[in-house]
A and B are shown apart, each in its own frame.
Chain A
C-alpha cells in the first residue's frame, strides 16, 4: 500500500493542520509517513503545497513524482489546478469551491470548475460556507478532510483520534467543532458524489 496526497492552498489557510492529522493517524497505524511542506517567504499569501506520502513500506522521496498523486486535496479551487501534473490517471480531486482572491488576474470561478470537472473523480463542496454555518470558517479544512476521508486509506477512528490529539491542548469545544466539521464534510461528499473507488 502506498498513497500519495497533495494538499494545496494559500499561505495561512491551514493545510498543515490537515497534514498533521494525516501524519499522526498514519503513525498510529504503524505506517511509514513522509510529509514535505513549505516554510519561509512563499508562506506570505503565496501558493503553498504539501506532499503527504503514506505507505506500509519504507518511503524514499520526500516529494511525490509527477503523475503519482492519488488525491489532491485543496482548500482553494485555483490552487487545486496548479498541481494537476501530479495527479495519476485514477486520482481524486477534492476541493473547497470558495476562491481566495488576492491576485489581479484571478480566473472566472466557473472556468475553474469546468477544468476540475474534466477529471472524472472530483468532489467540489463549499467547505468555507459549511464551516461558517457550524460557527467558525477556520474548520473548513476539517470539512474537506471529512469529504476526502473515504478516499484516504486510514481508518476513521485513527483520523478522529489524531484530530483529538492535535486539539487536546485547546478545549473540548474545539475538538467537537472539528469533529462536527469532519462529519458534515463526509456526509455532503457522500450525498453529492459517487465515491466508490474506480480503477
Chain B
C-alpha cells in the first residue's frame, strides 16, 4: 500500500531518502510539517539527522550552509516571508557556492491563508541566479529531492525548492524508493570561495553569472520541463508547478487538443518556450503567485497581444488559483453554482478559550482611555488576533520583531506611552536586536513579552526563549527595576493594570514578561518546559 503523506511530509521523506544529514528551520505556515516530520521520523533519528529548530530563518540558513561546507547534505526550510529574514546569507551563498548539497525549501502562501503578503519566492531564486524547482504534486515533491541534491552538488550551488500552500497541505498516496547513503565529511578543496572579500567575491560573482547558460541548458533538457505540441494550434498553455494540476483537471479528457509546456524547473527553458510560442496563436500562462513567467514573455512591444495571464486580466491579478479560475481562463463553461445562503455568518479565527493573551489584552484595554487608542504596536503570532474585535487592542502587525522597533521609532517622533506586544519566540527570533536599540537610547517604551512558552500559532513547537527571557533582557541592559514579571489571569487583573500604568509613566525602557503557558501545550510538553526552566535557573 502507498504511504499517505502531506505534500510537506512527502518532501521531508524524500529528503531523508536522498541522504540528508541536517534540516534547519524556524516554524511558519505552510512549511512547518516538513521539519516536524523529520523530527518524528525514527529513521532520521537512527541516521542522526539534525532536526532542532533554529532561532530564526537566517540562523537556520547559515547553519545549513555550515553543514554543507563540511560536505554533508543539508536542507533549510521556511515560509516565504522567512526568506526575507534569511536573504542576506541566501544571496551571498549563491556567490560563494556550496559544498555538500544544499536545498532551500520555501513554502509560499498565495491568498495569504496565514501570512502578511503573497510574495513569490521564484523572484528570489532569479535574483540569486540559482536553479528553482517547483513540484506539481505530492509524488513529485518526494521524487524531486534526489534530483535537487544532485543538481546542487553538480553545480555547487544552492537550489531553491518552491512549495505552495495547497501542495504543502494536501495528502496523497506516495510510492517510496530506496534510500541512498548520506555524504561523509569532506571539507572544501579550496576555501577561498567562501571568504567573500572583494577580490574573491568578484571572481565568484563572475563565475555565477557565467553559469547562466549552463543552467538554462540543464532546464532545457530536464524531465521536469515537458513540452507536448498538439495539431490544434489555437492555444498553448504554460503551466507552472501546481498550476499544471488545475489545467489538467479542466482539459483532462481533451488533452490531445492542447499544446502544453509543463514547467517545474527554472531558469526557463528558452527553446521550448520559443517552440510553443511559434506553434500557437495564443499563449496562456498559468502560474501560482506573481506573473513571473508571463512578465518574461511579454516584451515591451508585444503588440499582437499573444501572451495571456494575470497581467492581461485573463486570470485575476492576486490570490491563489483554483480549478474554476483556470476553467474561466480557458473559456470552459462551468454552470452556475448555487450561492451561499445569506444567513451564513462569517466565522473568523479567534484566541482559544482560556488563552493568556486575552487576559493581557484586557489589561492593556483598561488603560487605552488614558494613553490613546493608537499606541499599541503588535507583532507576528496568535496575539495578532488582538487586532480584531472584540479586543481591538493592537494597531500594527508588519513583520517579526517590528513591534519593538516601530514603538521606538514612534517615541523618537514624540509619541508618548508606546506599548509593544511581542511573543516569546518572536522576541528571540527578531526582537532582541531591536530591544538593544531601545536600551541604547533609553527610549520611553513599554515592551510586553507575552510569554506562552511555545511557538503557538504553528502548533506549539519548542521555543528557544523558554527560561531565558529574563536574563536576555537583563543582559541587553534593561534596568532590573523595570524588568517585571506578571501572570495574565483574571484574578490578577487589577494588580496588572496598576503595574502596567506604573511602567507607562517611566521615561525609559520597561519590559514586562507576561507569563502563562499556551493552553494547547500537552501535559508532557508542560512538564518538559518546567524541567527546562528548572535546569536553567
Is A36 within 8 A of B4, CB to CB?
no
Is A35 within 8 A of B30, CB to CB?
no
Q: How far is the CA of A111 from the CA of B342 in the complex (A)?
A: 11
Q: How far is the CA of A62 from the CA of B167 in the complex (A)?
A: 8
Q: Which of B33, B245, B344 contacts A107 (CB 8 A)?
A: B344
Is B173 within 8 A of A27, CB to CB?
yes
Least Cβ–Cβ distance between B462 and chain A, in angstroms:
18
For B138, the closest partner residue in chain A by CB is A34
Using a Cβ cutoff of 8 Å, how many contacts connect chains A and B? 153
Residues from chain B with Cβ under 8 Å of A40 in the complex: 29-30, 113-114, 457-458
Residues from chain A with Cβ under 8 Å of B536 in the complex: none
Residues from chain B with Cβ under 8 Å of A11 in the complex: 349
Would you list which residues of chain B between 1 and 59 have a CB under 8 Å from chain A? Answer: 1-2, 4, 29-30, 32-33
CB of B476 within 8 Å of the partner chain: no
Is B246 within 8 A of A61, CB to CB?
yes
Is A115 within 8 A of B341, CB to CB?
yes
Q: Which of A62, A82, A85 contacts B170 (CB 8 A)?
A: A62
Least Cβ–Cβ distance between A27 and chain B, in angstroms:
5
CB of B274 within 8 Å of the partner chain: no
Least Cβ–Cβ distance between A127 and chain B, in angstroms:
19
Is B344 within 8 A of A82, CB to CB?
yes
CB of B523 within 8 Å of the partner chain: no
Per-residue contact bits, chain A 23-38, to B (CB 8 Å; 1 contact, 0 not): 1100110101111111
Would you list which residues of chain B between 375 and 395 have a CB under 8 Å from chain A? Answer: 382, 384-385
Is B458 within 8 A of A46, CB to CB?
no
Is B173 within 8 A of A44, CB to CB?
no
Tell whether A33 pairs with B172 under 8 Å between CB atoms, given A40-B113, A84-B341: yes
Is B170 within 8 A of A34, CB to CB?
yes
Q: How far is the CA of A59 from the CA of B139 in the complex (A)?
A: 12
Residues from chain B with Cβ under 8 Å of A30 in the complex: 1
Least Cβ–Cβ distance between A80 and chain B, in angstroms:
9
Is B343 within 8 A of A67, CB to CB?
no
For B390, the closest partner residue in chain A by CB is A104
CB of B335 within 8 Å of the partner chain: yes
Tell whether A10 pairs with B347 under 8 Å between CB atoms, given A61-B245, A63-B322, A65-B324: yes
CB of A87 within 8 Å of the partner chain: yes
Would you list which residues of chain B between 149 and 191 have a CB under 8 Å from chain A? Answer: 166-167, 169-173
Least Cβ–Cβ distance between B1 and chain A, in angstroms:
6
CB of B337 within 8 Å of the partner chain: yes
Per-residue contact bits, chain B 336-353, to A (CB 8 Å; 1 contact, 0 not): 111111011111111110
Is B347 within 8 A of A46, CB to CB?
yes
Q: Which of A43, A60, A108 contacts B349 (CB 8 A)?
A: A43
Is B347 within 8 A of A47, CB to CB?
yes
Is B245 within 8 A of A46, CB to CB?
no
Q: Which of A34, A81, A107 contacts B171 (CB 8 A)?
A: A34
Is A87 within 8 A of B338, CB to CB?
yes
Is B171 within 8 A of A61, CB to CB?
no
CB of B334 within 8 Å of the partner chain: yes
Least Cβ–Cβ distance between B253 and chain A, in angstroms:
11
- The residue among A11, A34, A44 with the most chain B CB atoms within 10 A of its own CB is A44
Residues from chain A with Cβ under 8 Å of B32 in the complex: 39
CB of B323 within 8 Å of the partner chain: yes
Is B340 within 8 A of A84, CB to CB?
yes
Per-residue contact bits, chain B 439-457, to A (CB 8 Å; 1 contact, 0 not): 0000000000000000001
Is A63 within 8 A of B113, CB to CB?
no
CB of A182 within 8 Å of the partner chain: no
CB of B313 within 8 Å of the partner chain: no
Is A44 within 8 A of B246, CB to CB?
no
Per-residue contact bits, chain B 249-281, to A (CB 8 Å; 1 contact, 0 not): 100100000000000000000000000000000
- The residue among A45, A61, A65, A115 with the most chain B CB atoms within 10 A of its own CB is A61
Least Cβ–Cβ distance between A83 and chain B, in angstroms:
8
Is A41 within 8 A of B334, CB to CB?
no
Q: How far is the CA of A182 from the CA of B284 in the complex (A)?
A: 48
Q: How far is the CA of A79 from the CA of B245 in the complex (A)?
A: 27
Least Cβ–Cβ distance between B69 and chain A, in angstroms:
33
Per-residue contact bits, chain A 2-35, to B (CB 8 Å; 1 contact, 0 not): 0000000011000000011001100110101111
Is A102 within 8 A of B171, CB to CB?
no
Residues from chain B with Cβ under 8 Å of A61 in the complex: 245-246, 248-249, 322-323
CB of A92 within 8 Å of the partner chain: no
Least Cβ–Cβ distance between B135 and chain A, in angstroms:
12
For A11, the closest partner residue in chain B by CB is B349
Q: Which of A36, A44, A47, A111 contacts B352 (CB 8 A)?
A: A44
- The residue among B167, B323, B324, B344 with the most chain A CB atoms within 10 A of its own CB is B344
* A–B Cβ pairs within 8 angstroms, 15 of them: A10-B347, A23-B171, A32-B172, A33-B4, A37-B170, A39-B32, A40-B457, A42-B349, A44-B351, A45-B350, A60-B249, A67-B336, A78-B344, A82-B340, A86-B337
The 5 closest A-B pairs by CB, nearest first: A40-B114, A40-B29, A46-B349, A61-B249, A62-B170
Task: Name 9 extra pairs, CB < 8 A, besides A62-B242, A67-B335, A78-B345.
Answer: A34-B138, A40-B29, A41-B29, A41-B113, A60-B249, A60-B252, A62-B245, A65-B324, A108-B343
Interface residues, chain A, with chain B CB atoms under 8 Å away: 10-11, 19-20, 23-24, 27-28, 30, 32-47, 51, 59-67, 78-79, 81-82, 84-87, 102-103, 105-108, 111-112, 115
